[in-house]
Structure 1
Amino acid sequence: MTEVALALLAGFLVAALGTPVGVSGAVFLLPLQAGVLGVSGPAVSATNLVFNAVSTPLALLRAPRPAGRRGELLVVAGACVPAAVAGAYGRVTLFADPARFRLLVIAVLAPLGVQLLVRAVRGARLRDRDAPPVAAFRLALLALVTGMVGGTIGIGGGSMLAPVLVALAGQSVARAAPLALTSTLATSLSGLVAYTMFDALHIGTPPAAPVWHVGIATGLGGVAGALAGAAVARRIGERVLTLLLGTTATVTAAAHVVQLAQ
């Protein structure tokens, strides 16, 4: 019962922080899963995906969606399905080793997080009209790569795609949010199927199947957190959103550096 209560609280907090910047908040659950909730091995990544699958649909429905974006959303979703399967396979094989897994998290999140923090401190501000939409092929490639990494880590493709679109493609946080959340949902649903099948077929290092009660509890907490986060998003500017997005990536990377050093 205590474990479920902690999972509910953790899900609420990470979703409240992640929703305003277009990510699920699952990036913060990685250290909490092993350190507090007792989940281990590749199941950490799979359990995070349960959180995403439960909490992300509401956040996606409430995210701002500028006109003419349906094609971009379909491109992202289509690319993330095979990417999630490949990422899950990589997690139960190559990245089943804890040290190697933490190095992957650090290598991906730290550079993007620092770059976004620098941009936020300098006060740079980009509007949607300042940067043209990303070309379909380039967007599909970004979604494929970030979805694969997000499926491996268990944070969903959006937690990778949002910083890339903001920092490297010049998109505003508001424009990146629906694409990131679509990536997260597609990656999570596809990845969950893959992790469950790999566990059932004894492929890779166990345990790979999600710890369902922990994942569902964090997800339900995330639904409430998404509502709170959406309310916050309407009251703060893009500079603060960028700062939160950079902090999300940087704090997670730092937590894994600490774990790696222990």
Structure 2
Amino acid sequence: MMDVALALVAGFLVAALGTPVGVSGAVFLLPLQAGVLGVSGPAVSATNLVYNAMSTPLALLRAPRTAGRAGELLVVAGVCVPAAVLGAYGRVTLFADPARFRLLVIAVLAPLGVQLLVRAVRGARVRDGAAPRVRTAPLAALALVTGAVGGTIGIGGGSMLAPVLVAVAGQSVARAAPLALTSTLSTSLSGLVAYSLFDAFHIGTPPAAPVWHVGIATGLGGVAGALLGAAVARRAGEKALTLLLGTTATATAAGYALQLAG
């Protein structure tokens, strides 16, 4: 019962802090699951996807609407389905080894943390809403890479896709948000199916199926946290939240690096 209560609180907090600045809170649940809630092996990634699958739809519904994006959204959603399956397979095989998995998490968390810290110090740059559309081929390639990595770690692809679209493709945060959230939701749903099937057919290293009661508890907390996120942003300010999340991501990456060094 204690693990369910802790998972609820954790899901609520990471969603409340992450949603206003467009970062999936799932990445911050990794150490908690493995160190406190007793989730082990590839099941850590699968359980994180339960959180995403429950908390992302609300954020997607609240995302800014931009005309003429249906084609881009379909490209991202379609590409992320096989990407998530590929990522899940990599997690139960190549990255089932804890040391390799930690290296992958560090490779994702460290740049994310630095990017958030730089964004907090410099302030968000407001871009023109008429930024050029991303061409189909580059967008599909980005979705494939971020979806595969997101499926492996269990964070979806949006946390990696959004910064690239803003920094490299010249998209505004408002234009990038629906694509990033679509990536996260598509990756999470298809990844959950893949992890469950891999576990059922004994493919790769077990356990691979999600720990459902932990994932559902964090997801329910995430739904409530996402609802609070907008109010938190107004009170604390986006800069303060971005700085907090950047510090947390960087510190988590440093903690994993110390574990590897030890």
1:88 — aligned with what? 88
Q: CA deviation at 1:247?
A: 4.6
Deviation track 1:235-260 (CA, whole Å, cap 9, x = no partner) reads: 67765676566456434423422333
2-structure distance, mates of 1:15, 1:185 = 15
Deviation track 1:139-185 (CA, whole Å, cap 9, x = no partner) reads: 11101100000000011111221222233333332322221111111
CA contact (8 A) 1:15 1:222 kept: yes
Please give the residue correspondences for 1:28-43 in structure 2 after superposition, counting only pairs within 5 Å.
28-43=28-43
Gaps spanning 5+ residues in structure 2: where? Answer: none
Q: CA deviation at 1:123?
A: 3.3
1:66 — aligned with what? 66
CA contact (8 A) 1:112 1:164 kept: no
Q: Which amino acid aligns with 1:38?
A: G
| Length-normalised TM-score, structure 2 | 0.91
Secondary structure at 1:40's aligned position in 2? coil
Q: Which amino acid aligns with 2:206?
A: P
Q: Which amino acid aligns with 2:139?
A: L
CA contact (8 A) 1:8 1:221 kept: yes
Q: How many correspondences in the alignment?
A: 262
Gaps spanning 5+ residues in structure 1: where? Answer: none
CA separation of 1:254/1:207 partners in 2, compared to 1, >3 Å: closer, same or farther? same
CA contact (8 A) 2:17 2:241 kept: no
Moved more, 29-38 or 118-127: 118-127
Is 1:125 aligned to residue 125 of structure 2?
yes
Secondary structure at 2:217's aligned position in 1? helix
Q: CA deviation at 1:133?
A: 2.6
| Length-normalised TM-score, structure 1 | 0.91
2:106 — aligned with what? 106
1-structure distance, mates of 2:180, 2:249 = 14
Q: CA deviation at 1:187?
A: 0.2
CA contact (8 A) 1:62 1:230 kept: no
CA contact (8 A) 2:20 2:238 kept: no
CA contact (8 A) 2:129 2:172 kept: no
2:79 — aligned with what? 79
Moved more, 198-207 or 155-164: 155-164
